[in-house]
Chains A and B, each alone.
Chain A
Amino acid sequence: MHDIHTIDPVSRIEGHAKITLHLDDDGAVADARFHVTEFRGFEEFCRGRPLAEMPGLTARTCGICPVSHLLASAKATDAILAVSIPPAARLQRQLANLGQIVQSHVLSFFHLSAPDLLLGMDAEPATRNVFGLMAAEPELVRSGIRLRQFGQEVIASVAGEKIHGKGIVPGGVAQPFTSEAREPLRAKLDESLGAATETLSLLQEIEERLSREVATFGRFPSLYLAHSAPDGTWEHIDGHLKVIDSEGATVVDQLDPAEYRTVLGEAAAKDSYLKVPYWKPLVTDGDPRTGMYRVGPLARINIADRFGTPIADAGLDALRDRVGRIASSSFHYHHARVLEVIAGIERIAAILDDPVLLDPHVRAQAGINRRRGVGASEAPRGTLFHDYEVDEHGLITAVNLIIATGQNELAMNRTILEIAREFVDGPTLTDGVLNRIEAGIRAYDPCLSCSTHALGQMPMVLQLVAPDGEVVCERQRS
């Protein structure tokens, strides 16, 4: 049987994609590919724009994580202005990123993944969605929606809007923080933390029930890359990068993100708009697959020795007691996300208590002092790089964006391959296979509109492809 299975479009992810499963002559799954079929093109059309517009412009990359782009972009512009931003601005930016992480992770868990996890991978697709979940578990969904609202309100307190705020600017932030903005957020801390810890308990039950999925959803060794504080504490916006191997050994620590080109290569794929970043030191024969690394919540909890806040640390310790120091299954991205929501809320509470937050000096002023600047931050989905070059007047001459989803491309391919090998049986694609492959991709919470600068409807096509390239079987969500 020479088959290519195609899943197109892939549903409940942010963007448009298809998946192909390539079979060998014996009908076994030989390869699996995740293709991003949309193109955005920010690297191209940003050229010629004034530097100071870049945070506002690049934030339009994504409606889920505009704050991530605002922050990485603002940091790149800070580097070109060669300024150190005021302490209050630093706190405000941290607050915005934590709000971003909370709201995006909650969206991923409750709205996109929970229907699979709670209603079951084999549940009827027509009801296996957030509306079906609302009917089955109304209180749970309500708490998820309110939790996301909290994250968005934290964002709005800094950026001015929940989505597409503009308050983060070159040299700092646009407005001082006020006690009027602080009190309503404080009032919601307890409820939010309660909802997040209940979600963690729920997830632990789910993981026990879905042990076969936990074992096969991308459980393989890889490098992990994320920001890390010098003492090993979880970090999300400031500081430097750390890379560890599959055993947890440090590959590189405290690497300046501006030096990313020394260690990261970028390959273009024939069949996807996604650029494929890879870890250069491991690639010797030109095949980027040997340079696979993972970013995002899973990478961050594997790299961090601790969160530095009590409830999140207790949750991290409990996970490590069960799965070891390194959680290697991509299924645990869900777990990492919920832990980060808890840590995020705990850190938001600490920042709101810091009197420096209300300092009115929030913006450093400067002209064009350098011709290149790199900004990096931990977006909800992983490490985000914005790399700009400008002319003497501050007009952009080159842009390179490395997006979290692109960095997980190799790992996503590998995850699909493993799920296909475990669950594909015979030449036809069953609903169970389709569902699990989609859920495997969803574990990474990929955001394709962010990552391709690159066109998009998001649903999934799954194709079985024969060795001669003929598509023998195709399944598609209607």
Chain B
Amino acid sequence: MTWRYRITFVGILFLFFIVIARLFYWQVVKAQELSQLGQQQYGTTVTLYPQRGEIMTSDGFPIATNRIAYQVFANPKEIKNIGETSLLLSKTLGIDQATISAELSLDRYWVPIASGVESKVKDEISNFNLSGIGFEQQYTRFYPEASMAAQLLGFVGKDEYGNDKGYFGLEGYYNRLLEGKAGTAIEVHDAFGKPILSQISQQSAQIDGSSLILSINRPIQFLAEKVLKDSIQKYGATGGMIGIMDPKTGDIIAMASFPTFDPSNYQDYSDNLYVNPFITNTYEPGSTFKPIVMSSALNANLITPDTQCPICAGPVPVGGYLIHTWDDKYFPNTTMTEVIQHSDNTGMVFVAQKLGLTRMIDYLNKFGIGNMTGIDLQGEVAPSMKPPSQWYPVDLATTGFGQGISVTPIELLDAISAIANNGHRMEPHVVTAVENPDGSLVKIPPKEIDSPITPETAKVMTEIMINAVDKGEAAWTKLPGYRIAGKTGTASIPINGHYDPTKTIASFVGFAPADNPKFAMLVILDKPTASIYGAETAAPVFFEIAKDLLAYYGIPPSGGQ
């Protein structure tokens, strides 16, 4: 009998094992799948979209925010009169009636008609009481200042999945911070699949995007854009740009450029207007580059402000070329101070030759030329410098007066700001703080990149630049009573291996008040026709803005010339 008990016992054990194994299979192996199946029976997973963070100017005003808009959709099966419905929608939404009619004739339960519809228009459509027409609330980007700082902001478009994504400028650079994180929730429904009145249970909450607080000063940005727009018209230029920076912190106070675009309707503009020319356009800076080379030679103790130029009595031959001054006027034994004052190319050839190739490249690197400044905007470029082996004697000579070398406007402004800031070069930046959705503020501290020159050299160079403003070509437009350091520039445009004699890039770079600079500014006018010279076009624009800025900051005249 014992063997029968044993068989029965083993049989029962085996049956238990099968039951346990089956339970393990359903409860452990298939647990997640069954849980999902269960959820599908009583609810639907819905995505909770986060609100995109705002972009605020230094006064806390949102220049990029969100507004409520609606998506208009239709259930074609519930439409009673396609002709009448499509006509009313067409009139209200401004869409072709045939397009709407075609959508409403489709054999579907849901068709989109229009998105980004304003609440006023939505109310108008609601009043028609059209059957089969519905609305879904959504958020769209809203720019209260319209196209102000558009190339700085960038715009919000769609990615390959149809979700919002920032492109260019701040929207592109800080997209991950601004977009936040989508969440999911379960919407409970009945056996027929209809949603029932019940609170949506969140599986994971959405996290709204963080907001950016900029160093951009709204009134100054407005002023810069207005003056630039008027000046382009006044001087017959094809475009222009202005950058204003706090040399002590690297804060970008304003950055304006024209032509520009409207970020709300970016699709109506040419692609090449999306990029910010202040950080992407490269050009030969011309005479505005001279203070950088001059201060390098001063810092290396190769010259002093009173050093006389022994080769400035006439055109200078270099490597088979003859280098002239811009107006073919020559000043024998001119001093270094006068070289900047007269914007003397031959004097700068002397300085560049004194400096030599190795030191020239070393100093330019320290000033950030050929490197990206690190500004927090998408799309910055930096034309790299040639390797030392590819420099000819004439290249060294022309670099002295800003020809044969390419820079971006932000590179030049940052380099000149180093002179204004006692020789300390700061990293330019636009965002000063990030405000998290919980209200906490993360400040971004100023960052020093390099110290290309000593404070003593910076002071000497500042005095030379003040002299250039007071006695140079742009003296006619300077502000009396203020000590402003600056330099004009009339850069030639290289075309097919030579320079175009009729078209120039007119510019002026400077900072004020020179003894304790509050701002450094670069003004560039592209191909002005009223005059090709920076002293007659860009300089008056610089001083017009500087006048208002000094009044805005409450800085009285200090008794300069």
A and B associate? no
- Please report B residues at the A interface, Cβ cutoff 8 Å: none
